[in-house]
Amino acid sequence: MRISPKVAGAAAVAIGMTVALSACGSGSSSSSGGSGTKGGTLRLVGEDENSSYDWAGAYDSISYSSLRAYTRQLYTNPSSNDPAERTKIVPDIAAGMPDVSGDGKTYTVKLNKDVQWNVGGTGRTVTAADVVRGIKMLCNPANGTGPVDYFTDSLVGMKAFCDGFADVDATSATAIKAYEEGHQFAGVTAVDDATVKFTLEAPASDFVRFLTLPASSPRPIEMMSYVPDSPDGRQHLISDGPYLIPDGGYVPNKSLKLVRNPVWKADTDTTRKAYVDVIETTYGGTSDSIQQQIEAGTADMAVSNEPVPNAKLASLISQNSSQLHINPTGGPRYLVFNTVGGSDGVKNLKVRQAISYAVNKAAIAQLLGGPRVESVASQIFSPSTFGEGFKKIDPYATKDNSGNTAKAKDLLAQAGYPNGITIKLAYADAGVNPKMATSVQTDLEAAGIKIVPTPIPASDYYGKYLQKEDITKSGKWDVALAKWSADWEGTAQRTFFSPLLDGRGYTDGSSNFGAYNNDTADKLADEALAATSSGAAASKWNEVDAVIMADAPWVPLVEDNQANFNSSRLKNFQYQFNALNGDITDVSVG
């Protein structure tokens, strides 16, 4: 999932899942659903507003939080404080789980005919045509979504459709609508008003998870009169969820108001309780002022992924505060090597392995929360992103995760660098990143690896630096601090491998920051994605993990987790994984 500059530079907390769920309270709610009181106004505060209010382009946790209130998907994940509940896939707009053909290439989905759009006063039924339109608009030229490759790599004919869509005038609603209506592809079709058929190029064991992404939500024809996520488009969003944005409810960069959707039917929606009557969000705060407002009770929750200030976090943890909630993000921090444009040193496997041994991961974890709550990473995947069948490995293990300088020096000598090497370390110049870079520099220089620090403005770090092909290939950096977050929880291996480690599609803008590729890992990943059983897929993904870690394109450092704090009057906090926050459609106040 896209990491915004603010989140990437923020001081997050690295917390092991088991420790996290036991270290802090979860309010008055149960672990998997709880109950709340109807009525009242939920008050949210934050620094930044959504990057996209139109779901077609949504790909960040801040946007996902509010989209939960006014969009629905064919399938979804329940919000819960119980990881086992959160990873379940349940029907949302769909009337049940899909009918899958014997060869695993065709998914037929029946729709719940009682789900309504808030149009025409009395509402309009969400149809199969709306679902098809939503999939097609994933690659609209004005506001397409980040993970569109999941769909174009899977659905028959979608890549060619999207290639053509890219040439359409992104500023013209008329042109966008004309292309969408005038071009079809075989990968998604409306069989009738209440039946959708998806046709895949090859079996994909995780395909239904694609349909839980907010960007895959159906799209009403009425919204095609506006350019997606344009100023006019943001004022004319149509809801099929429990809340809607009233006229004047959105003021750019200042506020968002959500009120009840009169055509939403609770008996069609098993995952959104919609306890509160109104949800009001105010933007423009700071981390400290947001915390102060919540403590004072003038606000109830921070906007999604707003970090609890580190100075306050330790105190809340020691108090075992029931208002503090700590949960996994599926987000590793890691060192990534530039495998195409980096120095000869980092292209040498033994040098990469030396660096893997040299880093004191325990010290990094200390910077991000300390030994009570840290979770040191030792491989590509983690339990929260892998799901069933996870196999732990630690090929570069050191005592107490504190690094092994002697082993690193020995490997450097074997690599032909007995007198050490010099490499450039890139990092974002905000939040905890400079401190992390200093820690890494100390470790590597102790092993004979001289570091040239290369700080980059946080706002430019990913989009204008690590993801720029010319910068990577010209060798502006050798190793870089990076961060990522899974697109869903459990069986999320694709969301790491495909964007971060599959070099077959490397191009400008890629999230495979170091342009890494390994043919063996690619083949195993293809087999995992095509597996027809979860057990077979898990076995292949474990092999992928082992092959990649033996090649050492990364140094996994820690697994980040999210700390959320709420007011004393807020009840029934249930964690929404892709929003990194409590589900605003589940909480109650009073």
Mean pLDDT over residues 94-102, rounded? 97
pLDDT for residue 33 = 55
For the cut 60, the answer to whether the pLDDT of residue 14 exceeds it is no
**The token pair that represents 173 in the structure block:** 């609603």
DSSP 426: E
Cβ–Cβ under 8 Å, residues 279 and 69: yes
pLDDT for residue 18 = 29
Element (H, E) at 257: strand 255-260
Strands 195-199 and 75-76: unpaired
Confidence of residue 551 (pLDDT cuts 50, 70, 90): very high
Mean pLDDT over residues 155-175, rounded? 97
Confidence of residue 20 (pLDDT cuts 50, 70, 90): very low
Confidence of residue 356 (pLDDT cuts 50, 70, 90): very high
For the cut 60, the answer to whether the pLDDT of residue 107 exceeds it is yes
Helix axis angle, 158-165 relative to 173-182, nearest 10°?
A: 160
Cβ–Cβ under 8 Å, residues 470 and 460: no
For the cut 90, the answer to whether the pLDDT of residue 15 exceeds it is no
pLDDT for residue 515 = 95
Count how many residues are written for the chain: 590
pLDDT for residue 56 = 96
Residue ranges with strand state E in 290-375: 301-302, 324-337
Mean pLDDT over residues 541-555, rounded? 98
Chain-centre distance for alpha carbon 139? 19
More confident residue, 31 or 488: 488
Domains of the chain: 49-283 (3.40.190.10)
Lowest mean pLDDT among 151-165, 242-256, 503-517: 503-517
pLDDT for residue 48 = 87
Mean pLDDT over residues 554-577, rounded? 94
Confidence of residue 27 (pLDDT cuts 50, 70, 90): very low
Mean pLDDT over residues 267-274, rounded? 97
Lowest mean pLDDT among 327-331, 474-478, 583-587: 327-331
For the cut 70, the answer to whether the pLDDT of residue 21 exceeds it is no
Chain-centre distance for alpha carbon 554? 19
Backbone φ, ψ for residue 245 (5° rounding): -95, 115
**The token pair that represents 426 in the structure block:** 């890139």
For the cut 50, the answer to whether the pLDDT of residue 440 exceeds it is yes
Q: Which among 78, 71, 40 has a CA at the least distance from the CA of 219?
A: 71
Mean pLDDT over residues 148-173, rounded? 96
Please tell me which of 17-26, 28-37, 323-332, 574-583 the model is most confident about, judged by mean pLDDT.
Answer: 574-583
Confidence of residue 6 (pLDDT cuts 50, 70, 90): very low
Cβ–Cβ under 8 Å, residues 286 and 307: no
What would the pLDDT profile of 448-478 be if each residue is shown by its tens digit?
A: 999 999 999 998 999 899 999 999 999 999 9
More confident residue, 386 or 193: 193
Confidence of residue 36 (pLDDT cuts 50, 70, 90): confident
- In 361-490, alpha helices (H): 361-367, 383-386, 405-414, 433-446, 469-473
pLDDT for residue 589 = 96
pLDDT for residue 1 = 53
For the cut 80, the answer to whether the pLDDT of residue 229 exceeds it is yes
Mean pLDDT, the chain, rounded, equals: 91
For the cut 50, the answer to whether the pLDDT of residue 168 exceeds it is yes
For the cut 60, the answer to whether the pLDDT of residue 16 exceeds it is no
For the cut 60, the answer to whether the pLDDT of residue 22 exceeds it is no
pLDDT for residue 371 = 59
For the cut 70, the answer to whether the pLDDT of residue 294 exceeds it is yes
User: Where do we find the tokens 């200042």?
Assistant: 254
What is the share, in percent, of the chain residues with pLDDT greater than 90?
77
What is the share, in percent, of the chain residues with pLDDT greater than 70?
93
Q: In one letter, which amino acid is 412?
A: L
What would the pLDDT profile of 401-431 be if each residue is shown by its tens digit?
A: 999 999 999 999 999 999 999 999 999 998 8
Dist. CA 308–CA 306, nearest whole Å: 7
Judging by beta carbons within 10 Å of its beta carbon (0-12, 13-18, 19+), is residue 574 exposed, middle or buried? buried
Q: Which among 513, 233, 558, 227 has a CA at the least distance from the CA of 379?
A: 558
Specify the pTM: 0.87
Mean pLDDT over residues 8-18, rounded? 34
pLDDT for residue 121 = 83
Assign 3-class secondary structure to 105-171.
CEEEEEECCCCEECCCCCCEECCHHHHHHHHHHHHCCCCCCCCHHHHHCCECCHHHHHHHHCCCCCC
pLDDT for residue 372 = 59
pLDDT for residue 373 = 58
